Structure 1
């Protein structure tokens, strides 16, 4: 049986990442909107299929759907109405390709590498949707949690006991923070989706990784917030999604281990 060389594996990973990234860019655009519709409208929206220009509703031909390169070739405009197409699509595709390559580079074509790649793809979807809508969907966070628990029955990234405690403690930590903050201020500082996402990360990396994950997420969120305020790109009173920073902490733990500090 022929095995792939490192360069062949990374090239294949990049191409696969672009394809999956194209799917994720569509999924993260449609899924939150579909979830807000009534059941009949959901089925209608899903059945429509096909990628269309959101402005003129023109169906995009297959050669306009090549990840990243189609957007670059058209200079980010619809081929029919010339309306600008958001850069979110090539950015998600490029991000997915880079992270997929990184997973294969670090773990290789192994069980850990495949698991890390699946973990990253789901996390990208959570990252984008929470960034754009301040919403972490159970449809994504709960499968991520259960996948982590199931994989760690084989001690892939943590022992089974550590994974179970990681999921339980991860949820309870933010649950306590949420209710303490609400009791003191009368305001809700985060959503229940954050609890489930931290529980999922605990299920993947065990309870020992939770302090590191929370620290990285908190520090990066504060830094980004301060930079935004200084650059006057955001108001200090505007709520900011915490999920993307938990995702960043999750990737840091995946690639550098649970003992960075």
Structure 2
């Protein structure tokens, strides 16, 4: 399932392609025909994300809510002005089409037209999103209060979208390694200072994922990427991690073997030596 930065990046692409325009909205597959008819020809005001939920606001108080789930994909591509409409290949649930761009949605877990009240309900069910500004409705302290009331492991809680929105398996494994936190410690034992380190680090790391489309968690790669972006360049970011999918390999910090365990159905990776903070 895409991590939160992917949805924020997608929202930015939809905004750039269709913001302020009235795209044709259709359902080539037919499963979203009624919803598409409600949005067709309406002005697309903005696209935005909270955690792994994507929202596209249209004029008239209607919002398209999309959850990609495990297999959903939404591609935004330019089209030839004045050319023929590109054919809809595969099972396209929803298509946005303008004179300059096409966006085809395939395989989402959810695709619905909702009102403002439903948008609020969906967002309030989620935890705070590190990619959103801190506010009364996006409060990291609320996540910490939930964590400290739980006997579940920190690893499980960081992946629970009702606790913390947008964080997936890679960010979870890597940020715990970065702060030497044992992933199997109970949430109720997590100190406030340790939680603040985790939250602040996610706030720092995840915007790089939005800008580059790649999860970056190693400091040297972060520094190189930041320098390239500062020069106005598009950096080539290597897919390298400290512990994620590195079972049996040496920890990049201490040289100990990286461990692996399935927790709540997801693969967990950590260093048994330097992640001993309990």
Larger RCO (CA within 8 A; separation ≥ 6): 1
Q: TM-score, normalised by structure 2?
A: 0.29
Q: TM-score, normalised by structure 1?
A: 0.30
From the two aligned structures, give the one with the greater strand fraction.
2
